[in-house]
Structures are given as structure tokens and as C-alpha cells.
Structure 1
Amino acid sequence: MERLAEWDVDTVFGMPGDGINGIMEGLRRHRDRVRFVLVHHEEAAAFMATGYAKATGRIGVCLATSGPGGIHLLNGLYDAKLDHAPVLAITGMQETSVLGTAYQQEVHLDRLFEDVAEYNMMISNPAQLPSLVDVAIRTAYARRGVAHLTIPNDVQVADAGAEPYQSLGPVRPPRTAPVYLRGSGLPRPEDLEWAAEVLNGAARPAMLVGAGALHARDEVLAVAEALGAPVVKTLPGKAVIPDDSPYTTGGIGLLGTLPSEELMEEADVLLMVGTNFPYTKYLPEPGKARVVQFEADPARAGTRIATDVPVVCDAKEGLRELLPLLTPRNGNAHLAKYQEKMVKWRGDMDTLENAERDPIAPQYAVSVLDELAAGDAILTCDSGTIATWAARHWTIRDEREFYLSGTLASMAPGLPYAIAMQHAHPGRQVIAYVGDGGFAMLMAEFLTAAQHRLPVKVIVNNNNSLGQILWEQMVLGYPEHGVRYPEPEADFSTWARACGGFGAKVGKAADLAPAISQALAHDGPALVDVDVNPNEPPMPGKVSYEQAKNFAQAFLRGQPHKAAIATTLWKDRIQRLGD
């Protein structure tokens, strides 16, 4: 605990257990330096550590007992691994004298964590700890991933620094204040010149920016202006530039916009910055566009698409050095074309934010939240249809931020993320926008927020179903099966009130704004459970012929809710045409 504190760790998220009593005693002794946030499920602790790391750039730390406690961490740790967040997991282990005897809860977590962890070690000697804590944290920072230390019970309760074996010499860890490790982000000058040559020769340039460019807003906008390039944003990179910027065409992929898809089809040069976007079918077809990629990790440069110029650098520093080499463009017809397309797209999205719909349109619910939330609000989001609504109807402006499980796309991190981020930013408005399925998985953590007096706000998009899977089944041509929960639907507002927080259940659009306003104004945790139309489709920006054909076939094969779905689709279409 002393060593963690010297690395400026101020918070550990976790649950006690008899496999970590020694570590808990260390936390008790150093509670003035390291705060312990007691959660209700270890998976949430790992999500909290990941959310803390994403929102602060500092290492997140989670703690779990031996056996099942450590196993529960894995989902949240894979979220950190795939989204490149620095996280340290500390787990317990049975006493060294009984290892290998199939003792109770004997799970060799160091072996279990081999795939998820960049650094993974079982402590067998107390004298190892200072140095190995250093190495674990340095590795997590340097490789932007997970480090894991598992500590047997007998080592935990041994005297600090005890050396029970003949050693090669005393361990002498550095005692100077550690710094957050980050290698030089400057690109090689020859790579920049090569990149500038390709970019200056573009007739139809495009930029694709991701989470690695979240700290480079000014530089992204300056390069976009110089190139006359529309900017597409990955969902984890939604907050790189404002959604009302004249340079952006919004998101990409299943949750993206039609202008972004058309831009990727038309671009002759693509500049990728701070992203290793995995869905290659949404990128330019091989050979149709030249590609320049600014990537911090040389192992990831050029792994998604044939790349003409891979530039290894930090996004902010690389773009800053690139800018003087670019030839500014004036009167760019290419950019103007996509600005016009975005005017139409935004108009189409506005028509779906209709307060007259019954049941409540999920697009309207997000639009109300978007209007009422603060200019520096942090929104966390679960995976599923809610990610579509947030992508298209939560507006990045001012200092707003947005976080979700990007590459893992796990259900349930929205609330744990919000709790960790509220702890890290106590003066800001933090909102978890979650589905009923994801919230139900870790809903006990609302009690965690109440018990720690964290004023997180939760908006539940309640369609009583696993909505994203429902629509994916239909797009594949299958009638829906196993995706709608039986009636009655849950009323999560009663749980919020039982925990001592604010809770409201909303079934009519007219009641939505007052309820959300009350929740945002409440001085503690608050939840608004919104009954939304379960038959509202999260349609992709561009519907392919194959998707449309399979969707129609699913109807013909006995889709049980086809009348309600058809009515919703027809209303959406009429509203778009009418406006």
C-alpha cells in the first residue's frame, strides 16, 4: 500500500474476502493515503478501475479475493486490455504450503490471467513486493494494459521486507517519486515528410480519429481545416471534436452515419489518428485509397488496412509537427459536399426525436437528456441499442465526455464507469445511460453509489428486452427468439428509492423532462427508468440489400411482433419525409 501511494494511487476498488485479509489490513493502516471503495460485485470493481483509468489517464486499481473473486474480475479486465487502459489487478492466493493440493478456492490466478495481463506475477517472497509493484505499474502504463499481482496469504501477513531465503542481495527499489511512463511521442521527420506528401496530393481526403486523439482536439481541427478533410469519429473517440463541428461527419460503422459511410467509399486518402478501428468492412476497399496512420504503438500500425505511411507517434505531438508541412486549401468543394450531407442527416435525426410518439421513442429520451445535461457532463454507456441512441443523439459540445466498452463491447460497465468517474471528478455531472438488461446485471452498484454518497445519475432505457440482439437476429433473417423478457417489466425506480436515492418511473413523454430535471438536480444518486418503444430499430446509416432482404425474410418466417415493428418503421419513415 505504501508503494501504491508513492505511485499516486489514491483509490482501490474491490471486495474483501478471506484470501486477501492481509492486504485489507494494509489498506486499513494506510486509509489516510489510499481510499478503499467497497463494491457489491468484483466485476464492477474491475470496470470501475477501467473507467477510472479512461477518465483520468492514471492507473486504476482493483482488488479481489482468491478463487471466485479473482475470476469475477476478468470481464472488466478484458475491457481494459482491449481499450488500452492502464489497470492493476491485485488478487489473493492460498498459502504457499498448500498450493498444489486442490485446497479450497485454489485457483492459480496467475495462469488464468495469462492472456489478459501484460505483466502477471505471483509473489513468493515479501522482499519482492516493492520492486514488483514498480514493474507492474510501469508495464501497465508503458503498454497501456493490465498488470496482475497475486499474493498468497502467508506472504500477505509476513513482515514487510522479510527475506526467508538466501538471496542474491538486498532489493533496492528506487525511492524517488515515480512518474507516469510515456515514451517520446515525436514522429520521425522523414515519416512526417512522407505523410505530408501523400496528404497534400489528396483530392478527396478523409480523417478517421479515435480514443487515442481525445487529448488532441485543437490539432485534429487544425489539420482538418488545412486539408479540407471531413472527420469521421469512432465511438470511443466521439469526444475528440464537437458533434456540431463543420468538419465532422459523425460516427462510423453500424452505429454511424450515412455521410461517414459515403465518405469512406469516396475518399482517395485516409488519415487515421489514434485509432485501430477493428471493423474493416467500413474502411475503404483495398487499393481504393492511400492510408496514413498516426499510431502510438508500432505493433498496431498498419494492422487493419494496407497502410502507405505508418507514423509512430503520439496523436497530439504528431499532428502538431505535421501541420506546418501541409498546404492549406481554400474553397474546398469536397468538404462542402459533406457539410451539406450532414445538414440532411442531422435533420433526419431531429425528426426521430419526436415527443408525440407513444410509446416513448428512445431517440426522444436521449434528446431530452442531451438538452438538460451540463456542458461538462460525462456520459457513460452500456452496449446494445442504447449505444446507437447515444452515438446519434448525445451531443459532444463544450467539455463533454463519453465512455463505453469499445472493443470488448461488454454489457454492464455503464454504472461502474460512472461511479469511478464521479469519484475521480466530484465536481462534475456524471450520467450512466444504460439498458434494462445491462443495469440488471450490476444494479447492486447503485447501492454502492448511495453508500459512498456519489451523486451519479442513471437513465435506464427500458425496452424489457435485449434489443440489439433482437435486431441482429432479424438482420440475419431469423425470427426473434429468447430476446424479450416476460412481463411484467421491471421498475428499477423502486430499487433506487430503496437504496436511499431518487427514483422515477416514466411511461409518458410529457413526464420525461420533469423527471430528468429532478434527477439531475438531486444532490445524491438518482435514477430515471424510462419505458421506451421496444420495437424501435437501431438502423445502420446505410442499409445493404442483404440486410434488407434478411429483415424481410424474418417477417415472413413468423416474426411475432411484426405489426408493431412495421408500424414503428412506417412512422419513422413518414416523419422523415414529412419534415
Structure 2
Amino acid sequence: MAEITSELLITRLAEWGVDTVFGLPGDGINGIMEGLRRHADRVKFVLVHHEEAAAFMATAYAKATGRIGVCLATSGPGGIHLANGLYDAKLDHAPVLAITGLQESAVLGTGYQQEVALDRLFEDVTEYNQVVMNPAQMPALVDVAIRTAYARRGVAHLTFPNDVQIAPAGKDPYSTVAPVRPPSTAPVYLAPAVRPRDEDLRRAADLLNGGQRVAILAGIGARGAGALVEQVADKLGAPVVKSLLGKMVVADDSPYVTGGLGLLGTKPSEELMEEADRLLMLGTNFPYTKFLPEPGSAKVVQIEIDPARAGTRIPTDVPLVGDVGATLEALLPLLDAKDKTFLTKYQAKMADWRGSMTALESPDRDPIAPQYVARLLDELATDDAVLTCDSGTIATWAARHWHIRGNREFYLSGTLATMAPGLPYAIGIQHAHPGRQVIAYVGDGGFAMLMAEFHTAARYGLPIRVVINNNNSLGQILWEQMVLGYPEHGIRFGEPKPDFAAWARGCGGFGVHVAKPGDLPGALREAFAHPGPALVDVAVNPDEPPLPGKVSYDQAKKFAEAWLHGQPRKASIASTLFKDKIQQLKG
């Protein structure tokens, strides 16, 4: 058979090191599917049930490997479904290439069936966005798209009309005067090792050396530089706060770590931000500015690879544009060793905080405490396990009770904070790391959105472990409503309750429902030992509050107002809060 343009697309992806494409076929991409069929020995196509899941899988693949993640969708509605997962990649700076189909070039603009201008739809989400109108543009546009996704740490999009997909490879129907000639060598993207200027490093060191109470805030941009972060923390006597995305930068049992910040964070971290007179921000664009030091209360040094983001969240005295690792290596010799009194103070605070969290993990509480579920996962998981998570109350439990140690990793939708990525993330990462233990820790609301993808895991024999924190409600929204002073409304799903365990078994996997705390350890051990995909649906206390590390007066006041305005289930919520406090006092 004569070579078609879609084959140039697929072979060039393979030359870039792409080994997996996540997607869902449709008549708008039949030519691309043929290209995949002809080169199935080089690029694997993973068939999903929903395009949104394909985009999440590509995003997770990119986050977990650092390599380009690729998703594929048909024209019109198929491409539209990609949008949520692509925004997740954009906001968390993951390199992803989206490939979509388009109606034949001869009918574009006529209102043809399923005609959607996906290039215009994706204008906001992409760093590179192109309609391929001439077979001669291949494979050059693949190179530009992938290099741009890497360089700008975001999303690239190529959309192909049907006739271009199946046109003879290399054909130029327009006799182009200046055809694009791609290089014949294997393509490569070399990320620059960016280091700030010496004078800027000196200014940053002088500012940090002049502080008495230094704090460090580390984000995902510091990944791979954990040892250097700890060396800086030791020299400055500085406690280290981690953003949620940056949770895996430094181990949770590090003597420097005070945990997370914000609603999912710890009391010591919040108090640290209130007390610090210097703040060193490492590879983070932490968005919740109300948890950062008040402007003027602390001088700030920020290490940021993108100069446009330096100083975005908080007035920054010394912005350092560079890679966190390279910058810290250059900065360390310029720092003066400080007394450890301030660090010791926060180590004591963290010991108290860890004790209070441990107290909430009691196996004796019935209904099952979600903190107990998270603790068991932490105990059963290997030291190189990967945990994926949904947005909602489960993010709080994971942030506080899942501990980074060894080579563990942790992924969720950080800045977009969308529901539903936990399961597809696990599938994408298990494809990327087939030998590692991958656990999806999800809520019932998020799981239900894309639960068909459990069948995808079963079809590909992926041994992911799915643990559902099932409160039969949109638990996070319940507490957010109450903190506004409103009684809950429209957040509990009621009866009949879906049987997620039966669905798992129906897909050919392991599935069990657990309602009693005594049954949970055995069920999890059995699921973890299962050779294929396994699901444990845990009925947890629906009235367990994901309280912030430090409850403000205004939050308490609004909570009381919700009570007075007719909050349902007041007795159950009050009982849970009382039991939490008793457990912490006992602990």
C-alpha cells in the first residue's frame, strides 16, 4: 500500500520517543487510525471509553515521565471532550500533544456535520495550535508542536482534515515555492540548564542571610532537587513547606518538613508563614495568596524558570530566573550557616501535629474514618508506589496521611482541581511504569464520572488498585457551603447507592465493598495481592469534616451560621467533630 500522510505523523511521533497514544476512534480520524495500525509495532494505541479520560491519561503520562503525552480524538464532539484534561495539562505545565480530526478541507466552513473549529476552540489552552492543510507540512509540524510543548511546558494541538490524513505522503498539491524540509536526523529536545546571573545570586544570598526566621516553600518545580532543598534548609535553619503538587519533592519524614499549606495543609505551616521574615520560594506558583505572608511582613526570594511568573503571587524582592537545582547549587556557597533555634521550634510543632493526625486514624471508629483508610494505604503501599488522587475531601486525606518516602510519587489535578482524573491518571501512569505499584485514591463522585475506564484497565490487564472514599456525596462542597454560612444543599446522592464493586467484578477485575472498619485491612490486602485491576469501595463517615489546619474565627462564625440556618444532619456532624477531638486528646 502507498504511504499516507498519517503514517508520517505516526513515524515522526515514534522518532520523538512516543510509544503510547491514548484515544477513542471516530470517522473523523480513520486515516490516523490506519497510520497507527500500520505502525502498531512502534506506537501503541490505548482505546479508552471517553476522550476526557484520554487527555487525563496523556497528562499523567507526561507528569510521571517528563516525556510528551499524546491523546487522540475525532472531529467535533470528540475533540471537545478533550478540553478538561488539556486544561489540566496547561495549568500544571505538563507537555501534551492533542491530535484531532477535522472535516474534509473542501467542506470546511459549510456547516458540515460535526464541523467544529477545534483550532479556535483550543486557542486558550494551547501553546501551539495548527490545522494541517497540506501533506507536505508533515512531519515538520510534528517537530514544531512537540518542541513547543516541551519548551513552554504546555499543550500543543494538531488537527487534520480527513482528506489530508489519507493523502499520499509528501504530496504537495499546491506546488509550494518554499517547502518545509524537516531534518533527517532523529529529533531531540534539549532543555537548557538555566542559571541566574552572579549578581542576582549575591543579592538573594544577602537578603536570606539577613533574616532571622527563614521559611522555604517548595513546589513541583523543585522536583529532583530534594537533596539540595534539604541542604539549603539545614544551612538557613529553615523549615520547608511543600505545595500539594510539590509533595514528592522532599520526604514527609524529613526533619525540615512542616507539611502542606492552605486548606489541605498543616497548622505549623500556616503559623510559619505568619512568623517568617524571609521566604524562599522554589519552583512554585502557589495560587492561594491568603496563606502566604502579608505583603511587607517578609522579604521574598523566588526561584522560577518562567520569568513571567516571578512575583505573580506575592511581592518579590529578588526574583531568580533559573532551574531550581542549578540555582540552588550556585546559591548554597553564598549562604551563611544559621542557628537552628527557629527550625527546632517548628520541629516540635510538627511532632504535635503528627500526633493529632495519627489520633484521627483510629480503626475503632464506626462509620469508617477516611483518615484510617488513608493510613492503611500508606502502610500497605511499597516505597516506590505512585498514588493518584481526585479533587475533593480525598485530597485532604492524601495530603495529610499519605507519606512520601523512598521513591514514592503523588499526582493529582493541582491548579485546575478538576474532578475525575484519579482513575485515568492511574491508567496512564501504569502504562508508563508497568513495574510499579499504582494506586488511585478517589471519591465516589469523581469515580462515577469516568468509571468506564476501570474496564479499560481490565482490558489491558493493568494491575491498578482503586480505593474509593465513598461518602455518597460531594463531600468537599458540603463543607464549602457551610463555611459560607449556608446549610448544605444538593450534595448528597441518596438512594439507591451504586454498586461500584459489582461494576469492577463485571469488568473482570477484583471488587469488594467494605462498610465495617474491621473488614478493611483484609480487603485491602486481598486487593493489593490481586494480579489485575482491583477496586475496594469503602463506605466512610459522610460527616467527617476536612477541617483546615488552623480554623479562623471567620470560618468558625460562618460554620455556626450554617448551623443556625437549618443545616441538616447537625447531630451526626456534631458527633463526628466531638469524636475527632476526643481521639486527638487521647492521642
Identify the TM-score tier after normalising by the shorter chain. Answer: over 0.9
Partner of residue 123 from structure 1, selected from 127, 132, 135: 132
Measure, in 1, the Cα distance between the counterparts of 2:494 and 2:306: 47
Q: How many Å apart are 1:329 and its aligned residue?
A: 2.4
Measure, in 1, the Cα distance between the counterparts of 2:245 and 2:496: 34
Partner of residue 418 from structure 1, selected from 418, 426, 443: 426
Measure, in 2, the Cα distance between the counterparts of 1:239 and 1:180: 25
- CA-to-aligned-CA distance 1:297-337 (integer Å, 9 cap, x gap): 1111111110001001111111111111111224x110000
Partner of residue 220 from structure 1, selected from 229, 239, 257: 229
- Give the SS at the match of 2:141: helix
Measure, in 1, the Cα distance between the counterparts of 2:579 and 2:167: 69
Q: How many Å apart are 1:214 and its aligned residue?
A: 1.4
Instruction: Report what 2:350 is aligned to.
Output: 342
Partner of residue 193 from structure 1, selected from 179, 182, 202: 202
Partner of residue 468 from structure 1, selected from 455, 473, 476: 476
Give the residue type in structure 2 aligned to 1:128.
Q
Contact 1:187/1:312, CA 8 A, preserved across alignment: yes
Instruction: Report what 2:7 is aligned to.
Output: none
- Give the SS at the match of 2:148: helix
Instruction: Report what 2:154 is aligned to.
Output: 145
Contact 1:292/1:307, CA 8 A, preserved across alignment: yes
Matches within 5 A, 1:129-528: 129-330=138-339, 332-528=340-536
Measure, in 2, the Cα distance between the counterparts of 1:522 and 1:135: 43
- Number of residues of Structure 1 aligned to a counterpart in Structure 2: 578
- Give the SS at the match of 2:301: strand
- Give the SS at the match of 1:237: helix
- Give the SS at the match of 1:238: helix
Matches within 5 A, 1:69-108: 69-108=78-117
Measure, in 2, the Cα distance between the counterparts of 1:225 and 1:458: 38
Give the RMSD, CA atoms, in angstroms: 0.8
Q: How many Å apart are 1:422 and its aligned residue?
A: 0.5
Measure, in 2, the Cα distance between the counterparts of 1:483 and 1:37: 34
Instruction: Report what 2:4 is aligned to.
Output: none
- Give the SS at the match of 1:293: strand
- CA-to-aligned-CA distance 1:544-575 (integer Å, 9 cap, x gap): 11110110111111111100000000111111
- Give the SS at the match of 1:88: strand
Return 486-495 or 280-289, whichever deviates more: 486-495
Contact 2:75/2:115, CA 8 A, preserved across alignment: yes
Measure, in 2, the Cα distance between the counterparts of 1:80 and 1:545: 36
Give the residue type in structure 1 aligned to 2:518.
A
1:542 is aligned to 2:553:
no
Give the residue type in structure 2 aligned to 1:546.
D
Matches within 5 A, 1:8-23: 8-23=17-32
Measure, in 1, the Cα distance between the counterparts of 2:121 and 2:362: 49
Measure, in 2, the Cα distance between the counterparts of 1:491 and 1:277: 38
Return 529-538 or 488-497, whichever deviates more: 488-497
- Give the SS at the match of 1:221: helix
- Give the SS at the match of 2:27: coil
Measure, in 1, the Cα distance between the counterparts of 2:551 and 2:537: 31
Give the residue type in structure 2 aligned to 1:195.
A
Measure, in 1, the Cα distance between the counterparts of 2:353 and 2:138: 56
Measure, in 1, the Cα distance between the counterparts of 2:188 and 2:234: 35
- CA-to-aligned-CA distance 1:340-374 (integer Å, 9 cap, x gap): 00000000000000111010000001101110110
Contact 1:379/1:432, CA 8 A, preserved across alignment: yes
Contact 1:141/1:181, CA 8 A, preserved across alignment: no
- Give the SS at the match of 1:453: coil
Contact 1:138/1:181, CA 8 A, preserved across alignment: no
Measure, in 1, the Cα distance between the counterparts of 2:189 and 2:541: 47
Measure, in 2, the Cα distance between the counterparts of 1:321 and 1:493: 53
Contact 2:193/2:326, CA 8 A, preserved across alignment: no
- Give the SS at the match of 1:97: helix
Q: How many Å apart are 1:165 and its aligned residue?
A: 0.1
- CA-to-aligned-CA distance 1:425-463 (integer Å, 9 cap, x gap): 111000000000000000000000000111111000000
Measure, in 1, the Cα distance between the counterparts of 2:337 and 2:496: 60
Contact 1:455/1:525, CA 8 A, preserved across alignment: yes
Measure, in 2, the Cα distance between the counterparts of 1:208 and 1:318: 15
Matches within 5 A, 1:19-30: 19-30=28-39
Measure, in 2, the Cα distance between the counterparts of 1:43 and 1:521: 30
- CA-to-aligned-CA distance 1:223-268 (integer Å, 9 cap, x gap): 1111110000000000111111110100000000000000000000
- Give the SS at the match of 1:511: helix
Q: Normalised by the size of structure 2, how large is the TM-score?
A: 0.98
Displaced runs of 4 or more, over 3 A? none
* Structure 2 portions without partners, runs of 5+: 1-9
Q: How many Å apart are 1:491 and its aligned residue?
A: 2.1
Q: How many Å apart are 1:177 and its aligned residue?
A: 1.9
Measure, in 2, the Cα distance between the counterparts of 1:76 and 1:170: 34
- Give the SS at the match of 2:139: helix
